[in-house]
Amino acid sequence: MTNYNSKIKAVLKDGVSDPVFSMKGRNFAGFCGIWLSLALYSMPGTQLLAQVPDLGELLKQGKQQVEQGQVLEAIATYQQASRLAPENVAVLISLGYLYARQGNYLAAIQTYQKARQLDPQNPDIPARLGFCYAALGEDNAAISAYVGAIALAPEQVSYHLALGVLLLRQGDYGRVENTYQQILALDPQNVEARVMMGAALIAQGNIARAQIFLQTAQKQFPQQPEFILQRATLEFQQNHWQKALNLVERAQAQFPNNPKVQSSGRLLQAQIWEQQGQTGAAQRIYQQVLSTLPHSLEASLGLARLTIAQGNPRQAIALLQPLTALYPQEPDLYYTLGLAWVKNEQTDQAKPYLEKAIQGYHQRQQTAKERQAQQLLP
């Protein structure tokens, strides 16, 4: 089933159009994953510029370095700026952004925490902390951070969306629905919230309600392809292969220039063909997707399943093992790794992966998958 967490985008806006970076394919949208727009230069604390003459020149230099893609040089510049003005919240937030852009989330968290101590009423700071915690797979800390951001700025829809995606990833569907209702109260036409809610209903296996919800959403937002693909996923869940394929082809025909629709549709086609025993066709699609999206979780899992079935569990292990750093909270990844080790007749190696998969399935209330993983335990 297509994992629509990763398709949802929660863009944290602060009124400035700045560089945007992703979570390198993490399922947080990610959560495939969540994309974050961070302001570097229009921040509180700029009144300190006049008090520190060299600071303005440093920030100008740092901005130019960022625009030229010189992230390491910009970090050094902002570190120097933070030494000149250690209580300048704007400088700290900018430095935290650069650390996060580099993928150094621990350093970003430490920097944002300093900024938060100086400006505890700034909701942008806990939201940035939430993003970094989520990038590290620390969902509980991320949820707590976004709850804190919402307490300071309850009208900020993007904070609610980010929280909802994290709750969806944890399988806390009751709170997802509460978050969905809160978003609609703030923004009745919000599409991302409906995509999130559709994903929650699909994940719960609530077929009747999901069908009504997605049909209504598609009529209300005919230019939103996610609802067509979610309907296809719902048909796939019910083993209605042809109906699912028809919906995929419809989405691809209606949105020919949308690369996400095309890639998501192809992945769902591959999953259908895999279930139908057309393994050669499915394998070709998985390989094609990975050639352009090398960290695609769905394509990697699909190819791994096929290689295990073909008697090549070691190949599946080599394919999936590096992804554990990118998707630390994905139980399907750990289940498939555990299965590969079992098929390789190394049950001791399989046990920690299966235990982590069981924990994840239990947390997400995916009882059937939890039992399936338990049956593989030695």
What would the pLDDT profile of 142-188 be if each residue is shown by its tens digit? 999 999 999 999 999 999 999 999 999 888 999 999 999 999 999 99
Shared domain check, 302 and 158: no
Does the residue 309 lie in any domain? Answer: yes
Query: Are 333 and 354 spatial neighbours (Cβ–Cβ below 8 Å)?
Result: no
Boundary (domain end) residue, out of 120, 142, 173: 173
Does the residue 233 lie in any domain? Answer: no
Boundary (domain end) residue, out of 173, 188, 204: 173
Boundary (domain end) residue, out of 173, 189, 207: 173
Shared domain check, 165 and 17: yes
Shared domain check, 307 and 167: no
Q: Is the dihedral of CA 106, 129, 363, 234 positive or negative?
A: negative
The closest alpha carbon to 305, from 295, 291, 315, 292, belongs to 315
Q: Which segment, 5-9, 35-39, 329-333, is predicted with the most confidence on average?
A: 329-333
- As for how many domains the chain has, the answer is 2
Question: What is the per-residue pLDDT for 57?
Answer: 86
Question: What is the per-residue pLDDT for 26?
Answer: 30
Does the residue 179 lie in any domain? Answer: no
Residue 219's CB is within 10 A of a number of other CB atoms, namely: 9
Does the residue 266 lie in any domain? Answer: no
What would the pLDDT profile of 331-366 be if each residue is shown by its tens digit? 999 999 999 999 999 999 999 999 999 998 888 778
Rounded CA Rg of the chain: 22
Mean pLDDT of the chain: 85
Q: In angstroms, rounded to a whole number, what is the distance separating the alpha carbons of residues 207 and 215?
A: 12
Does the residue 259 lie in any domain? Answer: no
Q: In angstroms, rounded to a whole number, what is the distance separating the alpha carbons of residues 362 and 356?
A: 10
Domain that holds residue 148: 1-173
Span of 15-24, 192-201, 204-213, 261-270 with lowest mean pLDDT: 15-24
Residue 273's CB is within 10 A of a number of other CB atoms, namely: 20
Shared domain check, 157 and 8: yes
Helices 279-292 & 297-309 angle (0-180, nearest 10): 140
Does the residue 235 lie in any domain? Answer: no
Question: What is the per-residue pLDDT for 199?
Answer: 95
Does the residue 239 lie in any domain? Answer: no
What would the pLDDT profile of 251-273 be if each residue is shown by its tens digit? 999 999 998 899 899 999 999 99
Shared domain check, 152 and 6: yes
pTM of the full structure: 0.80
**pLDDT at position 75 over 70:** yes
Does the residue 212 lie in any domain? Answer: no
Q: Residue 329: which CATH number? A: 1.25.40.10
